[in-house]
Structure 1
Amino acid sequence: MPELTTVRHAPAQRRRVPDGERADLRIVVATGSGRYADPWHPFEATSELVASILSDDGAEVSVNTDVDDALQRLEGIDVLVVNAGDPWRHDSHPAPVPPESVAGLDAALARGIGIVSLHSAVSSLRDYAAWAPAIGAVWVPTVSMHPPFGETRIRVLEHEATEGMADFEVSDERYCFLQSLGESQVVAEHRHDDRAFPTAWTRRHGRSRVSCSLLGHDERSYESAGHRELLKRLTRWSGRGHHRSE
Structure 2
Amino acid sequence: MTRKALIFHGGWDGHEPGPCSGIVEALLAAEGMEVTRVEGTAILATADLRAFDLIVPVMTMAEVEKAEVAALGAAVEAGCGLGGFHGGMCDTFRRNTEYQFMTGGQFVAHPGNVIDYRVEMVAAGDPLLQGIGDFDYRSEQYYMHVDPRIEVLATTTFSGEHAPWVAGTRMPVVWKHRHGRGRVFYSALGHKAAEFDHPQMKEILRRGLLWAARDDN
Q: TM tier, shorter chain?
A: 0.7 to 0.9
The within-5 A match list for 1:95-134 is: 97=65, 99=67, 101-120=68-87, 121-126=89-94, 128-134=96-102
User: Greater share of strand residues, 1 or 2?
Assistant: 2
**1:165 and 2:126 are equivalent in the alignment:** no
Equivalent residue number for residue 91 of structure 1? none
Secondary structure of 1:117's counterpart equals: strand
Asked whether the equivalents of residues 31 and 66 of structure 1 are also in contact (C-alpha less than 8 Å), the reply is yes
Question: What TM-score do you get using the length of structure 1 for normalisation?
Answer: 0.74
1:238 is displaced (CA, Å) by 0.8
Gaps of 5+ in 1: 1-22, 89-95
Equivalent residue number for residue 230 of structure 1? 204
Of 174, 178, 187, the match for 2:141? 174
> Over the residues paired in the alignment, what is the CA RMSD in angstroms?
2.4
CA distance in 1, matches of 2:173, 2:106: 13
Q: How many residues align?
A: 205
Quote the sequence identity (%): 23
Equivalent residue number for residue 242 of structure 1? 215
The within-5 A match list for 1:194-233 is: 194-233=168-207
Asked whether the equivalents of residues 169 and 224 of structure 1 are also in contact (C-alpha less than 8 Å), the reply is no
Which amino acid counterpart does residue 192 of structure 1 have in structure 2? F
Equivalent residue number for residue 163 of structure 2? none
Question: What TM-score do you get using the length of structure 2 for normalisation?
Answer: 0.83
User: Greater share of helix residues, 1 or 2?
Assistant: 2
Gaps of 5+ in 2: 160-167
The within-5 A match list for 1:1-246 is: 24-32=2-10, 37-70=11-44, 72-73=46-47, 74-87=49-62, 97=65, 99=67, 101-120=68-87, 121-126=89-94, 128-140=96-108, 144-158=109-123, 159-176=126-143, 178-193=144-159, 194-239=168-213, 241-242=214-215
CA distance in 2, matches of 1:179, 1:63: 29
